[in-house]
Structure 1
Amino acid sequence: MPSLIIAEHNGSTLLPSTRSTITAAKYIDDDIHLLLMGDDIAALAHQASQIDGVRMVFMVDSPVFRQVLAENVELQIGTFLQQQGNVYQAILFPASTYGKNCAPRLAAKLDVFQISDITAVIDPQTFERPIYAGNAVATVRSNDTIKVITVRPTAFEPATDGGNARVESIDAISGTKQTKFISQQVTQNTRPDLQAAKIIVSGGRALGSASAFAEVVERLADTLGAAVGASRAAVDAGYAPNDYQIGQTGKIVAPQLYIALGISGAIQHIAGMKESAVVVAINKDPDAPIFAAADYGLVADLFTAVPELIEKLPSSH
């Protein structure tokens, strides 16, 4: 039986999280369909059809999905499943803000358990997922006829191009009357996307202020062409916006290089970045827990060490 991927995109391109979810689905079955919802997305559907492993792309192109509301997503998927005769054995979302918003609604409507944040597929009914902030791994098995799954994108390599799937347009729902879109505020960022970046420079509470965060963390990030992250403590203190937060209650990242500046290394933060290939930590406290997770550690005052490091680095610009 096929699996259905619910695609996440930004209107012009599929996000890497969707490609990682496709890779995870290959371990369940090689018959993979993709459901793409949005407004004016014909080009995006063609892009999706080129991904290796995808056999069919179902496109819902409608102003209803100009702004993605979880209520409309759930209603569209439910209608689509009825039209298809409930032929899918698994419905997979990325374990992103999008997936975490939409998947529980669908699982509740289908009256099945949700299998959250999987990091491995043992067989089509058995999966691994981290628990206790990543300090333990649970093996879970589901006998539900349809499984609703969210996939941790950093646990699977993004699927590459090489496919030639058929694209089929399907009718859109009329939209929910329970929820109305009012407005949104989008943070403008010229730096790499945090969850797709190869290098991340992240700052903690030790920065002391928003101005210091910008002068130290953001300046180093711009020198390296990196994305900017922050600990929850730094976000709560107002040094950085919420979408910079990395950790158990923020974003899960796995860059090639993660630089932690003034981050103590609370277990919740470690859970969000411990899959990074190389971790570099700078902290003046030699007993900071972050050093246990670091490949390279420097016990130093970051306000002295980081400017010196920036001077020695060639600029990415």
Structure 2
Amino acid sequence: MYKNWFFRRVDRFFDWLENHQKSIYSISLTIFLLLAAGVGGYISWRYWNNPMFADPGTIIEHMANIPLITGMLAMVLILAGGSFVIWMSLSMIKKVKINKMEFDISDSALAESRIQQRFTFISSMLEQNIEILSDIYEDKKSFKRRMEEDTVQQEIISYLASDYRDYIRVFYPDLQSELFILSTTENMDQNTTRMYKFLLRNEKTQQAVYSNRLINGENTLVGLACFEKEFEGESEGQYKVETDEHIIIVMKTGFDLPFEQYDIDALQSIINYSKILYEELMITYYLDTNEVIKEK
């Protein structure tokens, strides 16, 4: 899920606190111990030759005039207060962790159903490899023309992403969704552009990211397919691929169905599979061309 810099740092901070609770407890206790010793020592020194009460009348006032007792009392109060603050802080972290676990358990059935749907889609996509190749390739002339127009990559991505959207609609027929295959950021809204730039910065490690609305609006899933420059040879009979195209996949759904990590996995599978399909189509075109040459 995409989050802006503030929320990413808050999440990392809480994860760090959760993973270092023992160290935090020890360091915090040491700080409060040093603070208590410093304050206690200062109070004892401050009232050593200058009693707090010039004419004590009660037992408490007499005890307060004893610098060691006053300093020790200050130390005890600071240590008690510090221990309470540390305990409350660590308890809050544990409570947040328990609440997250309870939430995950309560939604486990729905999550399992969604995982199964995504897994089924990816499996069916791989099983229909021949049919997909045939649908996109059509014939040698058509494919050559589309190669020259540099639209093959977009067609592959559009074909697979549309299938994924239609597959989701089977399980959620009332779902409002939109799919955009873009090559530029001209018509993007601010949130989508921000996620696209995030993927550009992390294109070697991440190909998709999502952002769900907290109150109202559309949930957004963005994927980035980078077809890098490849040279398979320039001698006669070998095909040559030269492209450095970025294809942007944007899927938007209604508020009722938020995106999850499984959607990222599915979209990344589509992107990776599209690159394999592209190579297979190029090989098909190469073999088709060679057959025509042999026939002649």
TM-score, scaled to structure 2: 0.24
Whichever of the two has the greater Rg, that structure is 2
RCO (CA 8 Å, sep 6+): is it higher in 1 or 2? 2
- Higher fraction of helix: 2
TM-score (normalised: structure 1): 0.23
Structure number having the greater strand percentage:
1
